[in-house]
Structure 1
Amino acid sequence: MAAEQRLRSVNFWSGVVVLCLTIAGALVGIYQLNEVLTDEQQVPLAELSVQGELHYTASEEVRQALTAEPLGSFFTADVDDLRRRVEQLPWVQKVSIRKVWPDKLSVYVTEHKPVAMWNGDRLINQHQEVFRADITRADSSLPQLFGPENAVKETWEEFNRVQQMLEVNGFQIRALRLTERFAVNVVLAQGIEIKLGREATLERIKRFIDVFPSIVEHEKSKNNEIDTVDLRYDTGAAVAWREAKSES
């Protein structure tokens, strides 16, 4: 009986030792595997692919933004952090990043598409979002919009509404200003300023189109140039002139 109990005890403790060794071995294995997976030298992100229609941002700028700080390994690289690095570039609107086994980082960049200048020092993109970038790199023919900072959408919509009616009649807007009281002033490509006020802007534009031929005839007869056409009246228009530039 005593011998049987001793055998059971030996078997129990032998099992405990084996279990402990197994657990220790598994922990060591997990630790070693973790060391491998988190080691940039063992599983590095060796390939970097940059895609997208890039007009203002060079692929090398994207690479530099990503590698300004360590990327991490394939398993530890934080995709959200890497995305934020690229989105800090001035012309970048949105970034999509994914890992491709075994060592590739695929980056797709969507740029801002400027549609107008905003308040002289910034730009508006295709989603009516204001962004700051080097405006000298944008198309110089972009319209210049001025308005309250909280009325970007309203200013852009007013520009499109007025421009749509003017361009049918051969006019192009160079600049539009929306005041704090939402009054509208427009400067045409030929330098003529049109004051439309707050109300009935489309009706006033139609009036401008109707009276413009007569104004031009007067311009020719007086050898002056049209400076301002003020349409903030129930009928008619007030025209201010500037002296025509002499040709040398």
Structure 2
Amino acid sequence: MAVDWREVRWDFWFGLLSLVLLLVGIYLAGNWVYRVLMDEQQVPLDAIVLQGELVYTSSDEVRDALVAGEVGSFFGADMATLKARVEALPWIYSAAVRKEWPGRLRIFLVEQVPLAIWNDEALVNRDGEVFSGRVEQVEDWLPHLYGPPADIDEVMRQYLRIDELLQLNGYRIDELSVTERFSVSVGLEGGITLHLGREARLQRIQRFIDLHERLQRADDRDIDYVDLRYDTGVAVGWREE
């Protein structure tokens, strides 16, 4: 039986055309769905829920940071970008951002916990990380740390060790300074300054603790400073009335 090749050829081209039209239709439909999902007007993020204890950061500051640039739709919003915007706020230590259907953004916030004021112009946390929170918000109750900017790790190490010993004995540090040659001085709450030098600092602190009451009884004046940079004994300066 003879085959009509013209009929076969038409069937082939019709099938191919149908396949092409189907693929084009799928592409156009997918593109339309994508544009709808990415459109802020069609699928908006219309609610922001903040969680976490905020002491130094207001809710308005967080919201302003989020909308400082393009946010996008529920599906189009980039969580890494939004997280970075919030964590750029000076008092925010970390932020976790999560979407919740149908249009909610939930943000879990952790604020910085300041340990001390660094060189009168910044703050430092317990991890030794310097951050740019407003000093005036905490300057009434935080100790001041001073030292070369590149030596923050050493200043923190000295502060934590010395502070632990002093607090165990009822003293509180008002300020601590470390020079470029790593000589340490400590100002105590109440006005006494301890000059500790570059070595045996904890032993010298203990020597002060052991002598403090006797020094106070030795003179009616208040102690201004105690120089402990001696192998034995101390030098005492008295505050003039």
* Cα shift at 1:77: 0.9
Partner AA of 2:11 in structure 1:
N
How many percent of aligned residue pairs carry the same amino acid?
Answer: 44
1:64 counterpart = 2:64: yes
Alpha-carbon distance in structure 2 between the residues aligned to 1:19 and 1:171? 84
Alpha-carbon distance in structure 2 between the residues aligned to 1:139 and 1:39? 47
* Cα shift at 1:104: 1.5
Which residue of 2 is the match for residue 167 of structure 1? Answer: 167
CA RMSD of aligned residues (A): 1.7
Alpha-carbon distance in structure 2 between the residues aligned to 1:174 and 1:203? 20
Alpha-carbon distance in structure 1 between the residues aligned to 2:135 and 2:235? 35
141-150 or 73-82, which moves further after superposition? 141-150
1:81 counterpart = 2:45: no
SS at match of 1:185: strand
Which residue of 2 is the match for residue 148 of structure 1? Answer: 148
Partner AA of 1:239 in structure 2:
V
Which residue of 1 is the match for residue 199 of structure 2? Answer: 199
Alpha-carbon distance in structure 2 between the residues aligned to 1:168 and 1:44? 56
TM-score calculated relative to the size of structure 2: 0.93
Alpha-carbon distance in structure 1 between the residues aligned to 2:165 and 2:14? 93
Q: Does the CA contact (< 8 Å) of 2:117 and 2:139 recur in 1?
A: no
Q: Does the CA contact (< 8 Å) of 1:112 and 1:126 recur in 2?
A: no
Q: Label 1:2 to 1:87 Cα distance change in 2 as closer, same or farther (>3 A).
A: same
Alpha-carbon distance in structure 2 between the residues aligned to 1:185 and 1:126? 20
Alpha-carbon distance in structure 1 between the residues aligned to 2:224 and 2:44? 65
Alpha-carbon distance in structure 1 between the residues aligned to 2:125 and 2:167? 22
* Cα shift at 1:215: 2.0
Partner AA of 2:151 in structure 1:
A
SS at match of 1:93: strand
Give the ranges of 4+ consecutive aligned residues of structure 1 lying more than 4 Å apart after TM superposition: none
Q: Does the CA contact (< 8 Å) of 2:120 and 2:135 recur in 1?
A: no
1:95 counterpart = 2:95: yes
C-alpha distance after superposition, 1:88-133 (max 9, x if no partner): 1110111111212221111111111001111111111132211111
Mark the runs of 5 or more structure 2 residues left unpaired by the alignment: none
Which residue of 2 is the match for residue 34 of structure 1? Answer: 34
